[in-house]
Amino acid sequence: MSDQVALTLYIANKNYSSWSMRPWMALKTKDIPFTEHLSPFDESTGHAHFIEFSPTKKVPALKIERAGKDPVTICESLAIVEAVADLFPQAALWPTDPIERAKARAFATEMHGGFFGLRGSCPMNMRRPVKALDLDPYSAAAVVKNVERIEDIWSECLNASGGPFLFGAFGAVDAMFAPVINRFEIYALSDSTVFHAYKSAMKALPSWQAWEAAALEESWIVEEDEA
């Protein structure tokens, strides 16, 4: 099926858009062909122009074109990664063992639907100098709780798999956690062994380096994300 599929991934600013980064990393790291369409955030209009390619007016969005079928647009990062995994099974985005696959999906879902303290207080920003935030006690406690849980997940996975990624080879769950590496680093949230090991593996990927290089070249500023 993959030979008859054309993918277009719609994303926003690489400096800020953590949700865009996730499926982009999955596709790039696994060498899955796709066309990238970057459309910058426009806070003044609530990103109204996103409706041109995304029915939810959110990014990312993936347009899937298949021979003999109408194009389909999939929104939400995790759903996009799942669709790509089904279309390109040879990419092995999920573990082959059913129990390991279930664990990877559970952790990916937890990342997709949780960690609101970290996401709310510490937005992704590839250009930001490394510096801790001065948070109020409530927000700080929420961030610390999220960091501890994430590091527990990383430790469990890396100890079981031997690394360098959570289930051995890079997969969908690593793509889901990729933006967290930036958050942990730029806000000085951790100095743990597990963070440094996982950060080293992630930042050594050519896909990570390409995303970061493009982000650093961007001139757009989104004040809401300049924490």
Give me 11's structure tokens: 């994303």
Backbone angles phi, psi at 6, to 5 degrees: -120, 130
User: Cβ(218)–Cβ(15) under 8 Å?
Assistant: yes
DSSP single-letter state for residue 102: H
Note whether 121 and 192 are same-domain residues.
Answer: yes
One-letter amino acid at 120 equals G
Note whether 62 and 47 are same-domain residues.
Answer: yes
Asked, for residue 85, whether it belongs to a domain, the answer is yes
pLDDT value at position 225?
A: 85
pTM of the model: 0.95
* Domain containing residue 145: CATH number: 1.20.1050.10
For every one of its 227 residues, what pLDDT tens digit does the chain have, with 9 covering 90 and above?
556 899 999 999 999 999 999 999 999 999 999 999 999 998 888 888 999 999 999 999 999 999 999 999 999 999 999 999 999 999 999 999 999 999 999 999 999 999 999 999 999 999 999 999 999 999 999 999 999 999 999 999 999 999 999 999 999 999 999 999 999 999 999 999 999 999 999 999 999 999 999 999 999 998 888 97
Decide which of 42, 74, 92 is a domain's last residue: 92
pLDDT value at position 3?
A: 63
Structural domain range at position 8: 2-92
* Domain containing residue 34: CATH number: 3.40.30.10
For the chain, the C-alpha Rg in angstroms (whole number) is 17
How many structural domains comprise the chain? 2
Burial label, 35 (beta-carbon count in 10 A; 0-12, 13-18, 19+): exposed
Asked, for residue 222, whether it belongs to a domain, the answer is no
DSSP single-letter state for residue 162: -
Burial label, 78 (beta-carbon count in 10 A; 0-12, 13-18, 19+): buried
Note whether 37 and 111 are same-domain residues.
Answer: no
Asked, for residue 218, whether it belongs to a domain, the answer is no
**Calpha distance 167→56 (Å, rounded):** 32
Decide which of 75, 92, 109 is a domain's last residue: 92
**Calpha distance 144→164 (Å, rounded):** 25
CA-nearest of 212, 211, 208, 220 to 36 is 211
